[in-house]
């Protein structure tokens, strides 16, 4: 009999399948102190929580039978993921359960922002009757730009179309076919922000999306644009938004999330053009039941050794195989991450090719790790377990193959990614005593250590190019640790890959791109 502990309140409807399972005993213990939780957890096979219970390393260590920790929601900040992974405990969440709830809340905020509903209500409570002060605008024929057309963005698009809005969408993984299916216009990021009357963000918060909407993007927007964020605080630069509203560029903003929550003394809340709610996107009865149902089903599958999909950490790998694969894991993720950072466009096909000694092993875990490195630059909560599922959702074709052609190495990994804007290739190996190396970028042979702050430069092979780079970075006080160059023909296309002692600022990088004959300059963080 499996023992499943639930330590935060979940509805009976949400955990009905757990309660009805013949091989599962459900034990509910709420409002436990940390010490009480340690006492209770000792014989647990599974633990279901929401945001209140703190699942620390100590808690995980106290539960030797624990196989799975399930978070009835999206965020897993209250769970020590590394500790769970180290102990072989699977952590799952419920990324789909709040889709409708968040889409509906966003549309409610859009309507409220358009018709000044919160401000008018507050005025009524003060005994006023000032109709002229709250004249709004209609949604019909207005352009809504959705930044991030995932599950929530797609549901929002359907609702906006019903109100006869024109809908544009920017998403690096959006295909032309998917856009046509939803009846939206596929747009570049610049187009999406330039022509919109309303802009709503629905991306995860990652290094790449932090302050995705900033002072520069506000300058490129329409006058009197309206901004919405019901996704994650930090996607919009709140200081820049405040200044844009004060300057009259932005007519209003509707915010359900903030960089710091609760938003104590946030100047945005002092502006009459801003409406806000306390992170209510997923706060509906149905959403709370749905996330409980989702994680309950995942727990049942894992306890019964059945396939599952919403893990946020590594799957269990046999110790013997893990030992053999471990030297390749870092190389695999770095190859994927590097390739993602130099390849623009939405991926349509990824080919993984393995050669040499490595072909004797089960390479599936390495493919998942490469894919995780590739997708993590655009998606949140990507891991070795769910990376193939996320790729499948987006229609990305995955090809895994082995070959005997090692090109002089004892083992080598090739990855090619085709996108809507072209393709790039990368290859890497392990060198005994020296570790991971990138050996090829497209057709250029290199010897790059995939670590730290790198600079990838594509340029014309002309005299003085290397000197220009050294002189420019020296003037900026940036030290070059290593440099690799590659060319195919004299005077033709060439590349440089530099490893620097520190990252470049946006200003330095922008100035770098102005140097003549430097066709592409990309900063890469590994």
DSSP 234-251: TSB-HHHHHHHHHTTSEE
Residue 487's SS3 state is: strand
Q: Which of 178, 232, 425, 459 is catalytic?
A: 232
CA distance 92 to 97: 13
Q: How many residues does the chain have?
A: 526
Q: What CATH number matches the domain at 452-526, 3.40.50.300, 3.30.70.260, 3.30.470.20, 3.40.50.11260?
A: 3.30.70.260
CA max distance for the chain: 83
Respond yes or no: is residue 261 known to be catalytic: yes
In this predicted structure, what is the pLDDT of residue 146? 98
Mean pLDDT of the 391-396 span: 85
On the question of pLDDT at 317 being above 70, the answer is no
Please tell me which residue, 68 or 510, carries the higher pLDDT value.
68
pLDDT confidence bin for 155, thresholds 50/70/90: very high
Cα of first residue to Cα of last residue in the chain, in angstroms, is 45
Q: Which of 279, 425, 437, 499 is catalytic?
A: 279
**Which pLDDT belongs to residue 135?**
96
pLDDT > 70 fraction of the chain, expressed in percent and rounded: 98
C-beta atoms surrounding 449 within 10 Å: 19
The domains spanning 2-97+286-303 and 314-451 adopt the same CATH topology: no
10 Å Cβ neighbour count for 458? Answer: 17
Q: How does pLDDT run across 325-351, given as a tens digit for each residue?
A: 888 888 999 999 999 999 988 899 999
Return the minimum-mean-pLDDT range out of 76-80, 300-304, 439-443. Answer: 76-80
Residue 150, pLDDT above cutoff 80: yes
pLDDT band at 160 (very low <50, low <70, confident <90, very high): very high
The DSSP string of 297-339 is HHHHHHHTT-----BSSPPP--HHHHHHHHHHHHHHHHHHHHH
Average pLDDT over residues 428-448: 89
The closest of 391, 378, 308, 392 to 94, measured between CA atoms, is: 308
Of 226, 141, 146, the C-alpha closest to 179 is 146
- Fold exhibited by the domain 2-97+286-303: Rossmann fold (3.40.50)
- Please count the CA atoms within 13 angstroms of the CA of 214 that sit on its side-chain side: 8
Residue 83 has pLDDT above 80, yes or no: yes
Whether the predicted pLDDT of 418 surpasses 90:
yes
Structure token pair of residue 136: 């709004």
Model confidence pLDDT, tens digit, residues 473-497: 888 888 898 998 988 888 788 999 9
- Residue 233 is predicted with a pLDDT of 93
Residue 316, pLDDT above cutoff 70: no
What mean pLDDT comes out for the span 242-265? 96
Q: How confident is the model at residue 324 (pLDDT cuts 50, 70, 90)?
A: confident
Q: Is 122 left (phi over 0), alpha (psi -120 to 50) or beta?
A: alpha
Sign of CA dihedral 497, 502, 508, 509: positive
Other beta carbons within 10 Å of 40: 18
pLDDT at 219: 96
Q: What is the pTM of this model?
A: 0.67
The pLDDT confidence band at residue 89, using thresholds 50, 70 and 90, is confident
What confidence category does residue 318 fall into, taking pLDDT thresholds of 50, 70 and 90?
low
Which pLDDT belongs to residue 189?
Answer: 95
* CATH superfamily entry for domain 99-276: NAD(P)-binding Rossmann-like Domain (3.40.50.720)
Percent of the chain with pLDDT over 90: 61
Predicted confidence (pLDDT) at residue 130 exceeds the cutoff of 90: yes
Domain map of the chain by residue range? 2-97+286-303, 99-276, 314-451, 452-526
Q: Which of 235, 264, 269, 232 is nearest to 253 (CA)?
A: 269
Phi/psi at 72 (5° precision): -80, 75
Q: How confident is the model at residue 315 (pLDDT cuts 50, 70, 90)?
A: low
Mean pLDDT taken over the chain: 90
Can you point out the beta strands (E) in 13-95? 24-28, 46-49, 68-71, 90-92
408 vs 489 pLDDT, higher one: 489
- List 78's β-bridge partners, or say none: none
Asked if residues 35 and 14 have their Cβ atoms less than 8 Å apart, the reply is no
189 against 434, higher pLDDT:
189
> What is d(CA 155, CA 134) in angstroms, rounded to the nearest whole number?
29
Name residue, tokens 């905020």. 109
Q: If pLDDT is split at 50, 70 and 90, which confidence band does 181 have?
A: very high
Q: pLDDT at position 507, please? A: 83
**Predicted confidence (pLDDT) at residue 404 exceeds the cutoff of 60:** yes
Average pLDDT over residues 145-150: 95
- 279 a catalytic residue: yes
3-state DSSP assignment of residue 348 = strand
What stretches of 88-175 show up as alpha helix (H) in DSSP?
99-115, 117-125, 151-162
442-466: average pLDDT: 89
Of 513, 511, 515, 520, residue with least CA distance to 459: 520
Question: Residue 427 pLDDT more than 60?
Answer: yes
Question: Annotated catalytic residue: which of 261, 286, 519, 520?
Answer: 261
Q: For residue range 102-117, what is the model confidence (pLDDT) as tens digits?
A: 999 999 999 999 999 9
**Chain centroid to CA 428:** 25
CATH superfamily of 314-451: D-3-phosphoglycerate dehydrogenase; domain 3 (3.30.1330.90)
The answer to whether the beta carbons of residues 374 and 417 sit under 8 Å apart is: yes
* 232 among known catalytic residues: yes
- Per-residue confidence band for 204, with pLDDT thresholds at 50, 70 and 90: confident
């Amino acid at each position: 009999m499996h023992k499943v502990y639930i330590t935060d309140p979940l509805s009976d409807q949400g955990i009905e399948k757990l309660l009805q399972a013949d091989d599962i005993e459900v034990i509910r213990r709420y409002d436990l102190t940390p010490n009480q939780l340690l006492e209770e957890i000792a014989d647990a096979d599974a633990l279901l929580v929401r945001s209140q219970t703190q699942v620390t390393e100590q808690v995980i260590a106290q539960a030797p039978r624990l196989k799975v920790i399930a978070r009835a929601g999206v965020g897993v900040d209250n769970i020590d993921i590394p500790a769970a992974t180290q102990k072989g405990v699977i952590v799952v969440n419920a990324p789909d359960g709040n889709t409708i709830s968040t889409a509906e809340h966003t549309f409610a905020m859009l309507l409220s922002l358009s018709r000044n509903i919160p401000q008018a209500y507050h005025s009524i409570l003060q005994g006023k009757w000032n109709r002229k002060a709250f004249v709004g605008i209609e949604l019909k024929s207005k352009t809504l730009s959705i930044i991030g057309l995932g599950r929530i963005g797609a549901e929002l698009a359907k609702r906006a179309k019903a109100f006869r809005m024109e809908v544009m969408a920017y998403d690096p993984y959006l295909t032309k076919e998917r856009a046509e299916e939803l009846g939206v216009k596929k747009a570049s990021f610049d187009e999406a922000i330039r022509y919109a009357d309303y802009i709503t963000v629905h991306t995860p918060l990652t290094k790449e999306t932090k302050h995705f909407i900033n002072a520069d993007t506000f300058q490129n927007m329409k006058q009197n644009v309206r901004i919405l964020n019901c996704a994650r605080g930090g996607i919009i630069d709140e200081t820049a938004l405040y200044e844009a509203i004060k300057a009259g560029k932005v007519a209003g903003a509707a915010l359900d999330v903030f960089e710091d929550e609760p938003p104590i003394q946030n100047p945005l809340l002092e502006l009459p053009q801003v409406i806000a709610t306390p992170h209510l996107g997923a706060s509906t009865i149905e959403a709370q039941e749905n996330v409980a149902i989702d994680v309950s089903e995942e727990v049942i599958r894992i306890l019964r050794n059945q396939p599952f999909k919403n893990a946020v950490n590594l799957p269990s790998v046999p110790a013997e195989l893990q030992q053999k694969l471990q030297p390749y894991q870092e190389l695999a993720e770095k190859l994927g991450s590097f390739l993602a950072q130099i390849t623009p466009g939405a991926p349509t096909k990824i080919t993984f090719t393995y050669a040499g000694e490595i072909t004797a092993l089960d390479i599936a875990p390495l493919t998942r790790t490469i894919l995780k490195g590739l997708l993590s630059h655009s998606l949140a909560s990507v891991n070795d377990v769910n990376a193939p599922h996320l790729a499948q959702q987006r229609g990305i074709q995955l090809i895994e193959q082995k070959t005997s052609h090692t090109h002089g190495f004892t083992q080598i990994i090739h990855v090619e990614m085709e996108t809507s804007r072209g393709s790039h290739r990368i290859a890497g190996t392990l060198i005994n005593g020296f570790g991971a190396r990138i050996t090829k970028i497209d057709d250029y042979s290199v010897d790059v250590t995939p670590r730290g702050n790198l600079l990838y430069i594509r340029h014309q092979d002309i005299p003085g190019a290397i000197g220009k780079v050294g002189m420019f970075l020296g003037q900026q006080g940036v030290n070059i640790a290593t440099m690799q160059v590659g060319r195919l023909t004299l005077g033709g296309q060439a590349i440089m890959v530099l490893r620097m002692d520190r990252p470049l600022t946006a200003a330095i990088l922008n100035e770098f791109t102005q140097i003549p004959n430097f066709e592409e300059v990309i900063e890469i963080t590994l």
